[in-house]
A and B are shown apart, each in its own frame.
Chain A
Amino acid sequence: MAKLDSKVPKGPIAEKWTNYKAHQNLVNPANKRKVDVIVVGTGLVGGAAAASLGELGFNVKVFCIQDSPRRAHSIAAQGGINAAKNYPNDGDSVYRLFYDTVKGGDYRAREANVYRLAEVSNNIIDQCVAQGVPFAREYGGLLDNRSFGGALVSRTFYARGQTGQQLLLGAYSALSKEIKKGSVELFTRREVLDIVKIDGKARGIIVRNLVTGELERHGAHAVLLGTGGYGNVFFLSTNAMTSNGGAAWRAYKRGAYFANPSFVQIHPTCIPVHGAYQSKLTLMSESLRNDGRIWVPKKKEDAQKIQKGELKPTEIAEEDRDYYLERRYPAFGNLVPRDVASRAAKERCDAGHGVGNTGLAVYLDFEDAIKRLGRNVIEARYGNLFQMYEKIVDENPYGTPMMIYPAIHYTMGGTWVDYELQSTIPGLFVGGEANFSDHGANRLGASALMQGLSDGYFVLPYTMQNYLADQITVPHFKTDGTEFEQTEKEVQARIDKLFAVKGDETVDSFHRRLGHIMWDNVGMARNKEGLEKAIKEIQELRKEFWQRVKVPGEKTGMNVELEKALRVADFLEQGELMALDALTRNESSGGHFRLEYQTEEGEALRDDKNFTHVSAWEYMGDDEPAKLHKEPLVYENIEVKQRNYKTA
């Protein structure tokens, strides 16, 4: 258990990070160039960290799966980024942002990490503005804010509905500056297939060059993963097509504990599923809940008529509409946290009040907002989102309410890391969505961007330096050693095994089948029977995959089917761990909702006595069950309560 030392610094919570920085080890400027760092991923974490480490003088190698670092999936975040600036003078503070984030995460996040996140949030906004990020502004020239779920203040900074894009392009510009300077070397179209350990420490990676198909070895004194989440285990999600948890999963299999794998965020406002051929789901930003009102027909007969196309939503009288979020949660209304909003939508649809031809959709209506503010204002706020909706659904949301339904969006779980964001493998750091640390069992809107940039710009450049300080005498790593050779051989064996199957079913088909198992049993509502069934079915599907998968083409050169097969092979393992974690956590918390554990009103019922801990799983071998370790969560600065969004 010694391995699970969270290394939270001593002292009052507001002083921990300052104290840490004051006493940490540093590397002198001349020595920094003797030290190599590998950064995997060029999203907010990877891009910001690689740029910042390069600025400090380290030798950085950065890797991305796309053709350019500017395309990482952070780019798709729409609504905004939180910070405790309190510019609107509405009562915000670092403590309140910290409090809201811990409460929003249903008291399953580590206090000290969240406090630090809230503390550096303001630096992020300053940094981005200085980079030329064109945030929305008021006529007076100052920055504008809007509200997001789970908060009673307006603390969200935004750049239209493209905040992630602008923040990512800011990090990309800083990265480009360092690439030009020569402090950072860029490798595109590369995918990490394994982590190389030497004497127990992370010392490199094996990547596949997606264009040539060659395996490459890269060594360094430390490795940082900013590789995002594993939402694509579900097949359909709002993640990009290449988003995969592969690097983190490989780290798990090399000894890094994996924390809270069952904590998955299901986002309430996505465009509903429309066909079996569908490849991904599209998010409609949470910011829309600032002005949109969510409802379903009060009468089941109306819902049925709508499903059959006999009735239009605009024909339903005001008194026949059920604004169920406003009804159930008067204080927060349409701006309840995501897990609460998603479950409420599912509850209404399961009760037969859903709309759309499948009955699996609810309305997000802007009629009142357009009447109150005028179409121009709504267009200025959400124009690009409305346009996107219209292109996909072929309906004009200015005239008829949008249809939305929950979809897999984000994974709160991830590689277990300590306060320094270091995993249980020394020298392997993990930031952003890829780690587990800041969002507990549910992430609040506009907090992913905050965490990504916090980790990348302001945390990892410090904590990694603390680790690297005693590495300056370690020479640059040659990649022809035994460990690199052995790890590469194992990767090659995995690839050979996939080609050797020569089966008859496509990779996508297996992925889709896994997605169904996951969505039905490890999705929004879980129970013991379903989870046990899922584990059995995933094991069977995995067996079938290795007997029947068809991977055409060659080992050399570009082979997209091989790429997908490697990812799905990992998903088929990870899905099982997610189900196992959900089965072991006999409570409901945040996004993890066990039907057996709910209040009379259908709210998540935590079991603080037995489950106020992080579940960190250790890999014990392919044929052995994973071993559970627990990191107790201690709340010294927040009173742990049942989450309440009904009253302020």
Chain B
Amino acid sequence: MDLKLKIWRQQGPGTKGKFVEYPVKNISADASFLEMMDILNEELVAKGEEPVAFDHDCREGICGMCSLYINGNPHGPDSAITTCQLHMRKFKDGETVVIEPWRAKPFPVIKDLMVDRSAFDDIIQAGGYVSINTGGVPDANDIPIKKENADLAMDAASCIGCGACVAACKNASAMLFVSAKVSQFALLPQGKIEAKRRVESMVAVMDDIGFGNCTNTYACEAVCPKEISVTNIARMNREFFVAKVS
């Protein structure tokens, strides 16, 4: 298929960006979206032009590095997958495809389609862990955990930290991301010990960085490649409330 790409090009964080149009031809429907980008880049390099910068790594939908905003959707038109798992069969011959970076103040553009998501690391560093050191822990089967809770914790823990939730949200809220980590630990006995400290600290850092508030539009859940549920946000709100009144 032939496509017209409209890609956001931006030299660096301080500079002004703009859309640039690139035609691509003879793209196989079985190619992945990023392979289509590779083809474009190889053509650009062959012509001596600078390739389009975009983040990607595992190309298996699990590392969370890829992050394109395609035709108004984080990770493109398909559901429950990342951009690297998106395939060209989801597009029509002759279509115009608009490709932008995640747009949110806490995710400044580094170059072209690449953004800085270290804000997510800052939030995890504020409390996204159980404060134990290596060694000296009980046997793994000493504390039985209800299967239902373990499964729900796994649902939440499957977050890949890609930031699509923030990119989709009109408020650039990171509530889905933060609540997924808070929920994972809230559901497990190992995480309960420092639950209060964790939720207060993570929410405080989230607010400090400048992520917006949640106004319950659920846009985050709709675009999440791992289908993380907004019920995690409700759980985090409960945890936060309990922490504040206890």
CB within 8 Å of B: which residues of A?
A: 48, 51-52, 55, 66-73, 75-76, 85, 87, 123, 125-143, 159-160, 162, 164-166, 169, 172-174, 176-177, 179-180, 186, 188, 211, 238, 240-242, 274-275, 277-280, 282-283, 387-388, 391-392, 394, 457-458, 461, 506-509, 550, 552-553, 557-558, 560-561
Please state if B191 and A127 are interface contacts (CB–CB under 8 Å). no
| Interface residue? B185 (CB, 8 A) | yes
Please state if A561 and B45 are interface contacts (CB–CB under 8 Å). yes
Contact of A66 among B65, B146, B147 (CB under 8 A): B65
What string of 1s and 0s marks CB contacts (under 8 Å) between B108-129 and chain A? 0011001011101100111011
Beyond A76-B58, A275-B31, A506-B42, 14 additional pairs, beta carbon < 8 A: A48-B134, A71-B57, A128-B140, A137-B146, A142-B144, A143-B141, A173-B130, A176-B124, A176-B128, A388-B61, A392-B32, A392-B85, A550-B46, A557-B12
| Interface residue? B245 (CB, 8 A) | no
Please state if A561 and B51 are interface contacts (CB–CB under 8 Å). yes
User: On chain B, which size bracket covers the interface?
Assistant: 35 or more
Q: How far is the CA of A388 from the CA of B84 in the complex (A)?
A: 11
Query: Knowing A68-B121, A137-B150 touch, does A241 contact B31 (C-beta < 8 A)?
Result: no
Please state if B125 and A506 are interface contacts (CB–CB under 8 Å). no
Q: How far is the CA of A174 from the CA of B56 in the complex (A)?
A: 25
Please state if B57 and A73 are interface contacts (CB–CB under 8 Å). yes
Min Cβ gap A81→B in Å is: 12
Query: Knowing A136-B150, A165-B62 touch, does A174 contact B110 (C-beta < 8 A)?
Result: no
Please state if A68 and B35 are interface contacts (CB–CB under 8 Å). no
Q: How far is the CA of A164 from the CA of B58 in the complex (A)?
A: 13
Query: Knowing A66-B63, A87-B141 touch, does A279 contact B34 (C-beta < 8 A)?
Result: yes
Please state if B57 and A240 are interface contacts (CB–CB under 8 Å). yes
A142: B residues at CB distance < 8 A? 141, 144
Please state if A134 and B157 are interface contacts (CB–CB under 8 Å). yes
B38: A residues at CB distance < 8 A? 277, 279, 508
Measured CB to CB, the nearest residue on chain B to A456 is B134
CB within 8 Å of A: which residues of B?
A: 12, 28, 30-32, 34-35, 38-39, 42, 45-46, 48-51, 53, 55-65, 78, 80-81, 85-87, 89, 110-111, 114, 116-118, 120-121, 124-126, 128-135, 137-141, 143-147, 150-151, 153-154, 157-158, 160-161, 184-185, 188, 190-191
Please state if B138 and A553 are interface contacts (CB–CB under 8 Å). no
A123: B residues at CB distance < 8 A? 135
Min Cβ gap B46→A in Å is: 6
Please state if A552 and B48 are interface contacts (CB–CB under 8 Å). yes
Query: Knowing A179-B125, A388-B85 touch, does A131 contact B190 (C-beta < 8 A)?
Result: yes
A126: B residues at CB distance < 8 A? 137-140
Contact of A279 among B35, B51, B153 (CB under 8 A): B35
B35: A residues at CB distance < 8 A? 277-279
Q: How far is the CA of A278 from the CA of B140 in the complex (A)?
A: 42
Please state if B62 and A67 are interface contacts (CB–CB under 8 Å). no
Min Cβ gap A403→B in Å is: 13
Leading 9 A-B pairs by shortest Cβ distance: A141-B144, A173-B129, A130-B137, A134-B154, A134-B153, A129-B140, A180-B125, A52-B134, A71-B63
Please state if B129 and A506 are interface contacts (CB–CB under 8 Å). no
Q: How far is the CA of A174 from the CA of B124 in the complex (A)?
A: 10
Min Cβ gap A460→B in Å is: 11
Please state if A71 and B65 are interface contacts (CB–CB under 8 Å). yes
Query: Knowing A126-B137, A130-B137, A180-B126 touch, does A242 contact B57 (C-beta < 8 A)?
Result: yes
Contact of A51 among B78, B125, B134 (CB under 8 A): B134
Please state if B140 and A143 are interface contacts (CB–CB under 8 Å). yes
